[in-house]
Chains A and B, each alone.
Chain A
Amino acid sequence: MRYGLLVQGAPYSSQASHSALRFATALIARGHQLECVFFYHDGVYNASRLAAPPQDEPHLVDAWRGLNAGHGTQLQVCIAAALRRGLLDERESARHGKTGHSIEPPFELTGLGQLVDLGNQVDRLVTFAP
């Protein structure tokens, strides 16, 4: 089956990201396809390239990157939710006259329209929220 995930919880603040990652791993182990993880609401913080968790906790941002590297899962971040929370890629950072950026590939800033498309493409869209 083709799956998409919608993640709306901030990493380490709630269980949502941890559960979504476990679900993602289980899906792939069962031979399903995970097309895309879409980050919305506080879920956009999962995309922060500057996350530096202590070593005895799972590195959630790296785990998302691993899904992309190992399985080709797209990692899409709602641009409106991200920008107002200070999560900008290089292009948006320059456009807003900021120094530095907090999002980098494989995470990509996209619009909510992509979430609608995803919902229409996949067999199941599963939400993980706090």
Chain B
Amino acid sequence: MVDAAALATPAAAAPAASSLSVSDLHAWYGESHVLHGMAFEVPKGQVVTLLGRNGAGKTTTLRSIMGVMNKRKGSIRFEGRETIKLPSRAIARAGIGYCPEERGIFASLSVEENLMLPPVVRPGGMSRDTIFELFPNLKERLSSGGTKMSGGEQQMLAIARILRSGASLLLLDEPTEGLAPVIVQQIGRTISRLKAEGYTIVLVEQNFRFAATLADRHYVVEGGRVVDTFLNADLQSNIDKLHAYLGV
């Protein structure tokens, strides 16, 4: 009976078990209504991208999932549990790690303090040794000030510190923005490795060529909602449509 009831829910009806399931999500900055019914699924263990122009609502979507938007409505289910009404700290403790677009590195903390700041919320997080193996530069710079490092190193720190906590879903907001190609490649390799280790990742990107090397599925965001979606395998056949959406 329990199984039958579970099967009736939309999440269970999806082809793979969903890590994250967003539906009819609305969000506001003050009076300004910016998300108009966002809806998408993120299957467990997959990398999903939100593509779209500036101002489409991609960052706001991640902020809403993380609970840092004050005014939001609709449904955000993480591992089957409704989180729309939870405060940000409870959402983090449920097992979602957030790497914001501005990276959120603390200037008044050293690299090590930044790395160790997020509390471990669930077992199964990466050890310090594994993190240093992934990001050897960080080990060299542990005592420097968090914002004294290069942009690329700060980006790696911002990703590294959410790996310790045991989060299973990572929200990465434009991790390659403004970085040199060699750093972009390194971050790409890191994300592939994280995917191989079983992390589920929502990636916000403007650079769909970068996204195409990593993602399983793409959602195109426009005007605060998802207007199209395709599997990465179908990217080439949709390339003209995508160019039109992104205006590139």
Instruction: Report if A and B associate in a common complex.
Output: no
